[in-house]
């Protein structure tokens, strides 16, 4: 039999603190439980008050094996706010997508909404510094829906993802209210040559309220701010701030910027 001592030594050197990753297999089912509770009136329309209580207590119990006691209470008390944010996104998608036939259709089938749901749950855990758990949830959603939202990103109300495949939103991105993103949009960082030394530094753009960003637009940099009421056209590449009430688009001459004309 071969000598196992060298392998055991390598394990100790690689992970001396023995970071607990056993819970990873529990996190995905837990996230699904939370989503089922938050959206029970759409996912289980036959529900009654007793069913809600049962599911609520189950989530609370399962959470107690994952989080510190004080964080369990904080998480559970945040559920009404998360529910409100999710319904706001579903309504925004319904209002903005003529192909949608009902809020229920969006909640049950739209991949953009599924990714937003996972993000809201993961972000709450991220805020409580459960970084591994939050990342497990976000990467699972990334795998399922092709939409990569880092749980550290800050995203406002009535967030609307249309289609969604290929969207990337970085950890320090800040997104305001009533923002709409199409497929392939990247809110990314510029050169990361300093690597881990940039941890905690704002590396990703800020997108203010009422902005629409069309497919495959790429916006980079922690100092880059997209002003409110702005429209970013498809396939644009932006590394500098854009003023409020602006249209940025590509034409035969390259990228063009103009102020919106509200008189038309």
Please identify which residue in the block is written with the tokens 């990361």: 192
* 251 band by pLDDT with thresholds 50, 70 and 90: confident
- Convert 98-129 to b/e letters by CB count within 10 Å (16 or more is b): eebeebbbbbeebbbbbbbbbbbbbbbbbebe
Strand partners, 19: none
pLDDT at 14: 67
Q: Is the pLDDT of residue 2 over 70?
A: no
pLDDT at 227: 97
pLDDT at 20: 54
pLDDT at 43: 94
pLDDT at 21: 54
Pick the range with the lowest mean pLDDT from 28-37, 183-192, 220-229.
183-192
* 100 band by pLDDT with thresholds 50, 70 and 90: very high
List helix spans (H) across the chain: 5-14, 24-38, 40-43, 49-64, 69-77, 79-96, 103-109, 111-127, 131-145
Q: Is the pLDDT of residue 252 over 80?
A: no
Cβ-contact 96, 161 below 8 angstroms? no
Please identify which residue in the block is written with the tokens 């970085």: 170
Q: Is the pLDDT of residue 231 over 60?
A: yes
- Within 8 A by CB and 6+ apart from 158, the residues are 88, 89, 91, 92, 177, 178
- Convert 145-171 to b/e letters by CB count within 10 Å (16 or more is b): bbbbbbbbbebbebbbbbbbeebbbbb
pTM: 0.90
Instruction: Tokens for 120, please give them.
Output: 């809201």
């Amino acid at each position: 039999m071969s000598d196992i001592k060298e392998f055991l030594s390598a394990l100790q050197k690689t992970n001396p603190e023995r970071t607990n990753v056993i819970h990873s297999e529990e996190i995905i089912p837990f996230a699904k439980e939370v989503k089922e509770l938050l959206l029970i009136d759409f996912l289980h329309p036959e529900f009654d008050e007793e069913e809600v209580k049962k599911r609520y207590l189950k989530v609370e119990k399962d959470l107690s094996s994952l989080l510190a006691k004080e964080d369990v209470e904080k998480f559970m008390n945040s559920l009404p706010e998360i529910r409100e944010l999710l319904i706001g996104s579903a309504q925004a998608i319904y209002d903005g997508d003529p192909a949608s036939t009902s809020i229920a259709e969006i909640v049950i089938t739209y991949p953009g909404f599924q990714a937003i749901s996972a993000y809201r749950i993961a972000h709450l855990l991220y805020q409580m510094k459960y970084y591994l758990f939050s990342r497990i949830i976000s990467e699972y959603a990334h795998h399922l829906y092709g939409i990569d939202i880092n749980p550290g990103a800050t995203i406002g109300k009535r967030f609307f993802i249309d289609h969604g495949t290929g969207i990337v939103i970085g950890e320090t991105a800040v997104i305001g209210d009533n923002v709409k993103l199409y497929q392939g949009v990247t809110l990314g960082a510029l050169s990361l040559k300093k690597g881990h030394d940039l941890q905690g530094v704002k590396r990703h753009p800020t997108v203010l309220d009422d902005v629409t960003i069309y497919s495959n637009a790429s916006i980079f940099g922690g100092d880059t701010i997209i002003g409110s009421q702005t429209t970013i056209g498809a396939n644009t590449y932006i590394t500098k701030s854009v003023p409020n009430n602006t249209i940025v688009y590509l034409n035969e001459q390259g990228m063009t910027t103009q102020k919106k004309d509200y008189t038309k």
